[in-house]
């Protein structure tokens, strides 16, 4: 069985070496008020986190010119990076699909 750690006893033991040098003043022990531990609030996932559970992250490294174009497009189209990337991929995919249909 483990002993309950008492901060006052710990501090008293720490001061044992100092007792020889200076007389110890007796201080009344502060009464501790037992407060009920607050229950942690249930973790509520934000809508974006819920949506991301079924998605995969794709990242990339771009030069400064490409980053500037991305920033301009995000501002002009009022899209975030994910929406902008999806739009670009959808357009590229439909363009390639059209090329394939007409070249066959």
> How many folded domains does the chain comprise?
1
Cα–Cα distance for residue pair 66/89, rounded to 1 Å:
16
Domain that holds residue 68: 58-103
pLDDT of residue 17: 59
pLDDT of residue 91: 95
Paired tokens of 81: 């990076």
Per the model's pLDDT, the better-predicted residue between 19 and 68 turns out to be 68
pLDDT tens digits for range 53-92: 788 888 889 999 999 999 999 999 999 998 999 999 999 9
Q: In the chain, pLDDT over 90 holds for what percent of residues?
A: 33
Predicted TM-score (pTM) of this structure? 0.46
Does 91 reside within a domain? yes
Does 11 reside within a domain? no
Does 65 reside within a domain? yes
Work out the end-to-end distance of the chain between its first and last CA atoms, rounded to an integer number of angstroms.
80
**Number of alpha carbons in the 13 Å side-chain half-sphere of residue 103:** 6
pLDDT of residue 104: 63
């Amino acid at each position: 069985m483990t002993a309950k750690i008492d901060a006052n006893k710990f501090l008293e033991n720490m001061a044992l070496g100092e007792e020889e040098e200076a007389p110890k003043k007796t201080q009344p022990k502060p009464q501790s008020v037992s407060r009920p531990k607050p229950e942690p609030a249930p973790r509520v996932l934000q809508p974006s986190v819920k949506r991301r559970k079924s998605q995969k992250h794709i990242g990339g490294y771009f030069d400064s010119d490409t980053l500037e174009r991305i920033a301009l497009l995000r501002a002009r189209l009022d899209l975030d990076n994910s929406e902008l990337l999806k739009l670009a991929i959808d357009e590229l995919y439909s363009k390639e699909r059209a090329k394939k249909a007409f070249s066959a």
